[in-house]
Amino acid sequence: MPSLIDMRRRIKSVRNTEQITKALKMISAAKLRKAQERAIAARPYAAMLQQILANCAEAAGQSPDAGDNPLLAVRPENRILLVVITADMGKAGGFNANLLRFAQAFVSERRGKELSFDLIGKKGRDYFRKRGARIGGEYIDLFRNVRFEDAERIANFIIERYEKAEIDAVYLFVNEFKSVMASRLFSTRLLPIEVPKSTSTADYIYEQPPGEILASLLPRYIKANIFRALLESSAAEHAARMTAMDAASTNAGEVIDKLTLTMNRVRQASITKEIIEVVSGAAALD
């Protein structure tokens, strides 16, 4: 049976861990609200941009050179770029591990293809670096303050390589915020852009040729998708960390209770033993 000193050390160690998990939970809870509001606020903009893109594409389709835009060029998917968005730190349950398994399954299905990676977040970078993956871009410490400028920088680098035909397709992998208790693993093909069909019955009058408007919208569409993915990942990360740290704090409290009970039993046994020794010694003197 462990000594009282050992038990006290273990209780102190678990209590210190509990303080850390509670602090992390409070930090994520404080950041979650703002991140959640930004993620939800970006969704209507993305939906509206998609609708405008569909309307312009339908109008531009009447032009003979409508399909000349390089971002619409469809090529055999021999060189594929994966944009994987993970967190910069752990302690978020299965947030990073689940997404990396999801991306790894995609990689396994496309053996024989030339795969490269743009990795956002330290966890994804470290995972694929250890496996010798071909990394085209690394972006870390973006989630301290998610900015559109960072999404624009990432998108411009992707667009440049696609227009030069260095890559044939681009896929995005991200944890999409669903609720405080759960996120959704999400993947989509960023390039080539698959223009959605228009559902609008309105007849628009375009001041500029629809083809020119479409050409300016396509890069903006990529940038908006990456920015929204960063916001979704940030909100999902804080929600996952808050939930995981709450569970860890609860478990730590239960461990402390069990260790305290065990320590009290050890102390009682020690006191009983000492009393028996005193009584036995007194009886021997008699």
User: pLDDT tens per residue, the chain (286 residues)?
Assistant: 567 777 788 888 888 888 888 888 888 888 888 888 888 888 888 888 877 777 777 666 655 555 567 888 888 889 999 999 999 888 888 889 999 999 999 988 888 889 999 999 999 999 999 988 898 889 988 888 889 999 999 999 999 998 888 999 999 999 988 888 778 888 888 888 877 666 665 566 666 776 777 778 888 888 988 999 999 999 999 888 888 888 888 888 888 888 888 888 877 777 777 777 777 776 666 6
Q: What is the pLDDT of residue 198?
A: 61
pTM of the model: 0.82
Domain 4-21+244-285, classified CATH 1.10.287.80, yes or no: yes
Q: What is the pLDDT of residue 93?
A: 83
Q: What is the pLDDT of residue 58?
A: 67
DSSP string, 5-53: HHHHHHHHHHHHHHHHHHHHHHHHHHHHHHHHHHHHHHHHHHHHHHHHH
Residues 6 or more apart whose CB falls under 8 angstroms from that of 54 comprise 195, 196, 197, 198, 199, 200
Q: What is the pLDDT of residue 119?
A: 93
- The CA R_g of the chain, rounded to the nearest whole Å, is 28
Q: What is the pLDDT of residue 200?
A: 60
Task: Provide the CATH number for the domain formed by 33-242 in this structure.
Answer: 3.40.1380.10
Q: What is the pLDDT of residue 174?
A: 92
Residues spanned by CATH 3.40.1380.10 within the chain? 33-242
CA dist., res. 226 & res. 87, Å (int): 15
CA dist., res. 265 & res. 269, Å (int): 6
Residues spanned by CATH 1.10.287.80 within the chain? 4-21+244-285
CA dist., res. 90 & res. 241, Å (int): 8
Q: What is the pLDDT of residue 152?
A: 92
Q: What is the pLDDT of residue 21?
A: 87
